[in-house]
Amino acid sequence: MLTLYGIYRSRATRNIWLLAELGASYRFVPVIQGYRLADPAAKDAPLNTTSPAFLAISPAGAVPVLDDDGFVLSESLAINLYLARKFGGALAPSDAQEDARMQQWAFYGVSAIEGPALEISYAYARGEDAAEAGRAVIAAAAQKLQRPFKVLEAYLAKSPHMVGDRFTVADINMAEMVRYAQAHMALMDAFPALKGWLAACQARPAFKAMWEKRATEPA
Ligand SMILES: N[C@@H](CCC(=O)N[C@@H](CS)C(=O)NCC(=O)O)C(=O)O
C-alpha cells in the first residue's frame, strides 16, 4: 500500500501528478507545513511537519514523504524516480543510460533552478512585485536562472522531451521546478522552447487534475 504524506501547496504536487499519470492508487495523508500554522504545537493543530507523529515518520520534518509498505522515502525528486522505476512503463527509464540522464536532470534542476525559481514564486505570491525591493529580489533570482534556462532552451529547441522520445518522469520533475518561475512572464518569454515545453506538460490531464485540486486548498 502506497501512502503519500503532504499537501497540495508543497512539492508533493510533483508526486501527485506522477501518481495520476501512472494510474496508481494510494492513500493521501494531509500534512501541512508547521510554519504555516499560528501554533503548530496546539492540541487541535492539524498534522504538520513539526508534529511528533510526523517526525517519527520523517525526522527531516518536511513533506512530501512516501511510505511504500514500510519503505519510507523523503525527497520529492527521489520519490518520483523511485515510483517511475517501481511502476515501469513509458514514464520510467528504459535502461541505465536513461536512468542516469533522469538523475542528471533532477540534480541539475534542484541545484541550479529550484531555489531561484522558488524565490520568484514566493515574491509574486506575496505581491512583492508591487514594490521596488520585491522587484529587485525577482530580478536577482531571474538573473540566476539565465544560465540554466539557456541550457534548457538549447536542449528543448531540439527535443520535445527531457529524456528519450516520450514524456517521462524527467519532464514532470523539471516542469515542477521551472513552474515556480512561471509568474515571471518576461523571463519565460525570453525562452520560447522552454515555455512551449512547459505549456505542453501542463496541458496533460494529470497535471490539470492536480492543479484544480491544488486551487481548492487555502493559500
Ligand atoms: N528537497 C526537499 C524539500 C522538502 C521541503 O522543504 N518541503 C517543504 C514544503 S514544499 C516543507 O515541508 N517545509 C516544512 C519546513 O521546512 O518546516 C524535497 O524536494 O522534498
Q: How many domains does the chain have?
A: 2
CB of 51 closer than 6 A to ligand 1? no
CB 13 near ligand 1, within 6 Å: no
* 9 C-beta neighbours (distance < 10 Å), count: 16
pLDDT digit string, tens, across residues 78-107: 999 999 999 999 999 999 999 999 999 999
* Location of C-alpha cell 538549447: 154
pLDDT of the residue at 219? 87
In a shared domain, residues 103 and 196: yes
Residue with CA at minimum distance from ligand 1 atom 11: 62
Q: pLDDT above 70 covers what percent of the chain?
A: 100
Question: Which of 47, 75, 90 finishes a domain?
Answer: 90
156-168 pLDDT, tens per residue?
Answer: 999 999 999 999 9
pLDDT in tens, 175-200: 999 999 999 999 999 999 999 999 99
Q: Are residues 103 and 198 in the same domain?
A: yes
pLDDT tens-place string over residues 127-142 = 999 999 999 999 999 9
pLDDT at residue 216 in the model: 96
Q: How many angstroms separate the CA atoms of 32 and 15, rounded?
A: 16
CA distance between the termini of the chain? 30
Q: Verify that 75 and 117 share a domain, yes or no.
A: no
Q: What is the largest CA-CA distance in the chain?
A: 55
Same domain for 103 and 79? no
**Domain harbouring 125, CATH code:** 1.20.1050.10
Question: What is the model's pTM?
Answer: 0.98
- From 7, 9, 11, 14, the mutation candidate for ligand 1 (largest count of ligand atoms within 8 A of CB) is 11
Confidence category of residue 47, pLDDT binned at 50, 70, 90 = very high
